[in-house]
Amino acid sequence: MDDRHSHYDVIVVGAGLGGLYAVHRFRRDGLDVRCLESAAGVGGVWRHNRYPGARVDIESHDYCYYFSEDLYREWNWTERYASQPELLAYLEHVAERFDLNRHIRFDTRMEGADWRPGEKRWEVRTSTGETLTADFLVMATGNLSEARTPDFPGIDDFDGQWVMTAHWPEEPVELEGKRIGVVGTGSSGAQVIPVLADRAAELHVFQRTPNFVVPARNGAPVAEVINKVRADYATERAWMRAAGGNHVQYFLADFDSLDAEGRRSLLEQQWERGGHGMSYVFLTQGVFKEHNDVVAEFVREKIRETVKDPETAENLSPYDHPIGSRRLVIDTNYYETFNRDHVSLVDLREEPIDRITPHGIRTTAREYPLDLLVFALGFDAYVGAINATDIRNADGERPADGWQRRPLTLLGLMTKGFPNFFFLTGPGSPATLANLFAENEYHVDWVADAISHLRQRGYRTIEPTDEGQREWTAVLDKTSAPLLRRHVRNYMTHSNPDGTRYFIPYAGGLHTYIKLADEIAANGYRGFTLGQ
């Protein structure tokens, strides 16, 4: 690694998909950049979430970088939905192809950072005991990266092995013939469960809230789209941004213009297509409960058709939230897995986990003897990675100090009181509602352009104003106001003890977000204050 000094124009934290492009873009702009990465290699979440069955739920032709036409031409995906090993290989290829590794310090965690107002720079402490400084600090630490660790009583007494999907060990985990318990049935749980079932002697799935799960229909990459993009790259790239980073054609049919048979036919077509389109069969299903109910009941019927045991089918069927109001889970053989004799569903609503014992999991009803526990408990979304490190402004405050009631940001990129501190895909950006390759690329470009803007005009600092942040918060609330998903309890909503609940990401779509963020930049960074 090329490292001769300790002051940089920019320090980027994290060498996942956002951090890699950040290093590339900042280098291309002639900035002196250093990336800090706690792992031994690049990849971020696609390095850590190496559980069996891990794959992306957005099609490979979209879930990749668009910043380089050559890269898009030379990389050939092998599946419609890339698996974790293939995504990691792709990110490793990108790091080599663009000579990024020499700007990254691996095995180095950022322990904390302090803003030094006199020098107008960030002082960054690392796990290797060094102090580096930078004019700009860019957190590329992801919004679904800080995993929830299991804190069940008794976990330390468990005699077998326990693992987390979000930090699946690099060394092989013995699965063959084991009695395995999986806790958590979100996207990660639903992917790992069918694969574990192939190897386990017994598999017990501990489910707290059923999710709507729709088939991925994985297969060969969609050559039609890839060829189209390669044939007219510039147009397609521009279109990707204008369309929100997605080539999927959703039905978005007018619910009222169809009769029951017409609706059913579209739902069947979408079920056969697979993927996220089930959230967008009717234009209004995310807003009107009665429209949503038709889609939800269609999926519940599919569950009843697939799962042979009626009681298990009922326990797997979600009734407590509208379909698409939590992230739709995209799977291969999830419901089918519950027809296997050695697989059981444990409904935690009926029998909550009491504790982990040396021999397994004890619920309020009985003990399940197990050799291996797999926790797929999700993430401290949006703010977890920012809070996990000790970042302090000039007054010694941390970003979350002002976020008790809800995260407050401008564009989900910066927060007031923290000059020159950017977080990619943060709270208040489209974040988990967007294709994260597309959003990270856009965010990095926005930050890089902002830095050039400052430097060309002799400014040294940028941070949101109170008013800018208030206006953006109003935009967030207005955009999410009509949506059913705003009322749902999951990682996308921030709930307070007094009952107030806020939807965290920007819900208007990446394409609309890009227009708003471009406008803010074009208007001299309206809502931000630029300082000398």
Q: Could you tell me the two tokens for 19? A: 């951090």
**Is residue 50 a contact residue for ligand NAP (CB under 6 A)?**
no
Task: Provide, rounded to whole angstroms, the least separation between the CB of residue 450 and ligand NAP.
Answer: 27
DSSP string, 18-39: HHHHHHHHHHHTT--EEEE-SS
The span from the CA of 532 to the CA of 522, in Å, is 20
Per CB under 6 A, the list member of 20, 22, 23, 56 interacting with ligand NAP is: 56
- For residue 164, the cross-strand partners are 375
Q: How many CB atoms sit inside 10 A of residue 403's CB? A: 18
Segment interacting with ligand NAP, rule: CB under 6 A, options 25-33, 68-76, 185-193, 443-451: 185-193
Nearer to ligand NAP, 59 or 202 (CB): 59
Segment interacting with ligand NAP, rule: CB under 6 A, options 53-61, 361-369, 403-411, 471-479: 53-61
Nearer to ligand NAP, 53 or 417 (CB): 53
Segment interacting with ligand NAP, rule: CB under 6 A, options 178-186, 295-303, 314-322, 522-530: 178-186
Segment interacting with ligand NAP, rule: CB under 6 A, options 133-141, 188-196, 234-242, 244-252: 188-196
Q: How many CB atoms sit inside 10 A of residue 519's CB? A: 10
Segment interacting with ligand NAP, rule: CB under 6 A, options 49-57, 92-100, 217-225, 410-418: 49-57
- For residue 113, the cross-strand partners are 124, 391
**Is residue 60 a contact residue for ligand NAP (CB under 6 A)?**
no
**Is residue 469 a contact residue for ligand NAP (CB under 6 A)?**
no
- For residue 124, the cross-strand partners are 113, 132
Task: Provide, rounded to whole angstroms, the least separation between the CB of residue 410 and ligand NAP.
Answer: 24
In 184-312, at which residue ranges do the beta strands (DSSP E only) sit?
A: 202-207, 213-215
Report the half-sphere exposure of 433 (CA within 13 A, side-chain side): 28
Sheet holding 179-183, edge to edge: 161-164, 372-375, 179-183, 202-207, 343-347
Q: Could you tell me the two tokens for 284? A: 């209004």
Segment interacting with ligand NAP, rule: CB under 6 A, options 93-101, 182-190, 456-464, 505-513: 182-190
Task: Provide, rounded to whole angstroms, the least separation between the CB of residue 217 and ligand NAP.
Answer: 14
**Is residue 377 a contact residue for ligand NAP (CB under 6 A)?**
yes
DSSP string, 175-229: -TT-EEEEE--SHHHHHHHHHHHHH-SEEEEEESS---EEE----S--HHHHHHH
Nearer to ligand NAP, 59 or 463 (CB): 59
**Is residue 520 a contact residue for ligand NAP (CB under 6 A)?**
no
Task: Provide, rounded to whole angstroms, the least separation between the CB of residue 445 and ligand NAP.
Answer: 23
Nearer to ligand NAP, 268 or 367 (CB): 367
**Is residue 406 a contact residue for ligand NAP (CB under 6 A)?**
no
The span from the CA of 373 to the CA of 200, in Å, is 12
Amino acid 216 reads: A
The span from the CA of 82 to the CA of 63, in Å, is 9
Nearer to ligand NAP, 120 or 208 (CB): 208
**Is residue 144 a contact residue for ligand NAP (CB under 6 A)?**
yes
**Is residue 385 a contact residue for ligand NAP (CB under 6 A)?**
no
The span from the CA of 387 to the CA of 147, in Å, is 12
Four-CA torsion 427, 413, 38, 116, nearest 10 degrees: -120
Per CB under 6 A, the list member of 164, 183, 504, 507 interacting with ligand NAP is: 183
Q: 412-451: which residues touch ligand NAP (CB under 6 A)?
A: 432
Cβ atoms 346, 204 nearer than 8 A: yes
Task: Provide, rounded to whole angstroms, the least separation between the CB of residue 418 and ligand NAP.
Answer: 26
Q: How many residues bind ligand NAP (CB under 6 A)?
A: 23
The span from the CA of 141 to the CA of 274, in Å, is 30
Contacts of 129 (CB under 8 A, 6+ apart): none
The span from the CA of 380 to the CA of 388, in Å, is 10
Amino acid 182 reads: V
Length of the chain: 532
Task: Provide, rounded to whole angstroms, the least separation between the CB of residue 344 and ligand NAP.
Answer: 16
Residue with tokens 């630029």: 530
Per CB under 6 A, the list member of 16, 184, 407, 426 interacting with ligand NAP is: 184
In 208-301, at which residue ranges do the beta strands (DSSP E only) sit?
A: 213-215
Residue nearest to ligand NAP (CB): 186
Per CB under 6 A, the list member of 19, 189, 412, 417 interacting with ligand NAP is: 189
Q: 198-257: which residues touch ligand NAP (CB under 6 A)?
A: 208-209
Nearer to ligand NAP, 277 or 468 (CB): 277
Site mask, ligand NAP, residues 256-295, x = CB under 6 A? ----------------------------------------
Per CB under 6 A, the list member of 491, 506, 525, 528 interacting with ligand NAP is: 491
Helix or strand (DSSP H, E) at 151: none
Task: Provide, rounded to whole angstroms, the least separation between the CB of residue 327 and ligand NAP.
Answer: 4
In 94-208, at which residue ranges do the beta strands (DSSP E only) sit?
A: 104-105, 110-116, 121-126, 131-139, 161-164, 179-183, 202-207
Which residues here bind ligand NAP, judged by CB under 6 A? Answer: 55-57, 144, 183-189, 191, 208-209, 327, 330, 348, 376-379, 432, 491
